[in-house]
């Protein structure tokens, strides 16, 4: 019995130790890209898509480009731009990605962009954390947890 408890204690310690680098990896900053306010609008059941937004900052003096991304929580993740077409709001894929200026930021929502989760695997409920990988031209793959909510 005592031995079992000791083993359990060691296992807990080991998990504690190995969890630290994992937590560090999950930080939404890799290289010279920083992601703030990453959020997704809640979806009703069986919604075919969900929209996500983030504030992206590049501290690289060359800037960076958000190319696209992927998530285990939906079939696909696409980068879209809202645009008016003869008075009708439409959304279009963004060829070439979104440029983040050197030392500057792009607020996807304000700039008319969103990340479109195509066919979410389950409803996104307020408070859920959705793991996402954003792909940048220079910074490469950046892991970010998007929080389902109202973006506040
Ligand atoms: Cu869209």
> What's the CATH code of the domain at 81?
2.60.40.1890
Mean pLDDT of 110-115: 96
Residue 12 lies in a domain: no
Residue 59 lies in a domain: yes
pLDDT at 89: 86
Percentage of residues in the chain having pLDDT higher than 90: 64
CA 21–ligand 1 middle distance (angstroms): 34
CA 5–ligand 1 middle distance (angstroms): 52
Residue with the larger pLDDT of the pair 36 and 152: 36
Residue 66 lies in a domain: yes
Count of structural domains within the chain: 1
Whole-prediction pTM: 0.77
CA 13–ligand 1 middle distance (angstroms): 44
Q: Which long-range contacts (CB under 8 A, 24 or more apart) does 127-133 make?
A: 130/40, 130/52, 130/71, 130/73, 131/71, 131/72, 131/73, 132/38, 132/52, 132/69, 132/70, 132/71, 132/73, 132/77, 133/69, 133/70, 133/71
Does the pLDDT at position 58 exceed 50?
yes
CA 119–ligand 1 middle distance (angstroms): 12
pLDDT at 23: 40
Residue with the larger pLDDT of the pair 19 and 105: 105
Range of the domain at 85: 30-148
Residue 111 lies in a domain: yes
């Amino acid at each position: 019995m005592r031995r079992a408890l000791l083993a359990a204690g060691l296992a807990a310690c080991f998990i504690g130790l190995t969890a630290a680098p994992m937590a560090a990896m999950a930080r939404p900053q890799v290289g010279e890209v920083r992601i703030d306010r990453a959020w997704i609008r809640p979806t009703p059941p069986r919604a075919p898509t969900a929209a996500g937004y983030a504030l992206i900052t590049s501290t690289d003096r060359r800037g960076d480009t958000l190319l696209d991304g992927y998530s285990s929580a939906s079939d696909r993740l696409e980068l879209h731009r809202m645009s008016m077409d003869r008075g009708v709001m439409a959304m279009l894929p963004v060829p070439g990605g979104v440029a983040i200026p050197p030392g500057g930021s792009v607020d996807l929502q304000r700039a008319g962009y969103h990340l479109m989760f195509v066919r979410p695997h389950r409803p996104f409920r307020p408070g859920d954390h959705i793991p996402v990988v954003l792909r940048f031209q220079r910074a490469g793959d950046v892991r970010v947890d998007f929080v389902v909510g109202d973006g506040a």
